[in-house]
Amino acid sequence: MVKKNACIFISGNGTNLRSIILKSREYNFPANVRLVVSNRKKALGLNYAKKWSIPIFILKKNPISEIILLKTLKEKKIDIVILAGYMKILSKKFIRAFDKSIINIHPSLLPKYRGLNTFARVLRANEKKTGCTVHYVNEKLDEGKIILRKFFFIKKNDTINSLKTKTHNLEYRAYSEAIYKTLRGL
């Protein structure tokens, strides 16, 4: 199978990045991770890129950095941008200029709970279930077409932290399935 070239954007711990890198080493996973982008040069997740010798690009605040990034994505023939805990909003210019898919994972069952602090809001609203959503990225926050959602039922003793752990564990499976679906057209 010819694998597609993926670029993963992170800002923090990068546990989704780690899970996608591990998955990409399986022969039937449709993507290889060719580049890791971070807006924070101290993001912990960059250690995973270093561990597996994947090139890193630090995206600075200035518009020139974005232009260089777009050029790098072209040079590396990147087929898909995968946002994994990337905490900045991509510029409209970037979204328009990169003409391939951009996907994101969000820790709630969209369209519910867009934005931040999802776990606290879910608990406050006494929701029965929660989970994660993988979706295409467009110019509006957390609003692109949904690729897939996965959920679990909330227990009485669940806390913000337990929901976070459970959601993260679900995200690893959801993201690899969604990447498979997106790239294989399934």
Which residues in this chain contact ligand GRF in the complex, by CB under 6 A?
Answer: 10, 12-16, 45, 84-85, 105-107, 132, 168, 171
Question: Under a CB-based contact definition with an 8 Å cutoff, are residues 51 and 22 in contact?
Answer: no
Q: Which is nearer to ligand GRF, 68 or 138 (CB)?
A: 138
Please state, in angstroms and rounded to a whole number, the distance separating the CA atoms of residues 82 and 156.
34
Is the N-terminal amide bond of 111 cis, ω within 30° of 0?
Answer: yes
Residues with Cβ within 8 Å of residue 65, at least 6 apart in sequence: 59
Q: Which is nearer to ligand GRF, 10 or 73 (CB)?
A: 10
Provide the minimum distance between the beta carbon of 101 and ligand GRF in the complex, in angstroms, as a whole number: 17
Q: Write the burial class of residue 66 (CB in 10 Å: 0-12 exposed, 13-18 middle, 19+ buried).
A: middle
Provide the minimum distance between the beta carbon of 184 and ligand GRF in the complex, in angstroms, as a whole number: 23
Provide the minimum distance between the beta carbon of 165 and ligand GRF in the complex, in angstroms, as a whole number: 10
Instruction: Choose, from 106, 113, 154, 170, the residue flagged as catalytic.
Output: 106
Task: Indicate the residue whose CB is closest to ligand GRF.
Answer: 85
Question: Does 135 participate in catalysis according to the annotation?
Answer: no
Q: Write the burial class of residue 84 (CB in 10 Å: 0-12 exposed, 13-18 middle, 19+ buried).
A: buried
Q: Which is nearer to ligand GRF, 78 or 105 (CB)?
A: 105
Residues taking part in catalysis: 106
